[in-house]
Amino acid sequence: MFNSSKLNSRLAAAAFGALAIGAVAFSNSAAAAPLPMFPFLLTPPTEAAPPPVQSMPQAQDDEGSFQLPARLRRQVVAYPTREAPGTIIIDTPHTYLYLVLGNGQAMRYGIGIGRDGFTWSGTQTITKKAEWPDWTPPPEMIARQPYLPRHMAGGPGNPLGARAMYLGGTIYRIHGTNMPETIGTRVSSGCLRLTNEDVTDLYSRVSVGTKVIVLPMTDRRADLGATIR
């Protein structure tokens, strides 16, 4: 009986010691990293904000759009002539078209003219006017450039541009162009081209029957059109 009581005392002491050690270990662990009582209520850790995304630069004005040189822009100039107001004079050497206004003045437009071998001269009248004209290349042009279309409906892509004024019974016209960079150059097959804006302006100022004088390429007189300030 004595031995049994002694054994029980030793077991109780050992159990008490183990509880004490566990309590100390739990206390130290809690002090080092306290556990939350309700972990499901914790706010999730905040992630680092991503760097700001730069917005795409706004599109700028189209700086590549073509602008005529100052001398080829439509302008009123001093232009002494004996021709009646309303007459059109083509200054072939200087690539200008003058619309005589009277009182020593004219409206001057920059134009594109015929390339080498395709310039011409003489006096004609406007026999027909057309807005957004169709284009039917004449047989002579087809023979030289067989790849050309036989007919093209009027519109922005048509090489005759926004307006056309037909000269007498010839194949030549004063017309617009969808290639404004050719104004001031010698590239056509004999027709006289203006920008679409300028040909629309000219079209509104003249009528069927208007006299058109085309000066020869060999006429190298100085340009008479001085800009009026």
Indicate which residue of 108, 163, 173, 175 is catalytic: 175
Instruction: Give catalytic status of residue 151 as yes or no.
Output: no
168-206 as b/e, with b when 16 or more CB fall inside 10 Å?
A: eeeebbbbbbbebebbbebbbbbbbbbbbbbbebbbeeb
Instruction: Give catalytic status of residue 223 as yes or no.
Output: no
Query: C-alpha distances in angstroms, 9 versus 3, 14, 15, 20, 21?
Result: 10, 9, 10, 17, 18
- Of 93, 86, 106, the C-alpha closest to 211 is 86
Q: What is the pLDDT along the chain (229 residues), one digit of tens a residue?
A: 444 444 444 544 444 444 444 443 444 444 444 544 444 444 455 555 544 433 333 333 333 488 999 999 999 999 999 999 999 999 999 999 999 999 999 999 999 999 999 999 999 999 999 999 998 888 888 898 888 888 888 898 899 999 999 999 999 999 999 999 999 999 999 999 999 999 999 999 999 999 999 999 987 665 656 666 4
Indicate which residue of 191, 194, 202, 206 is catalytic: 191
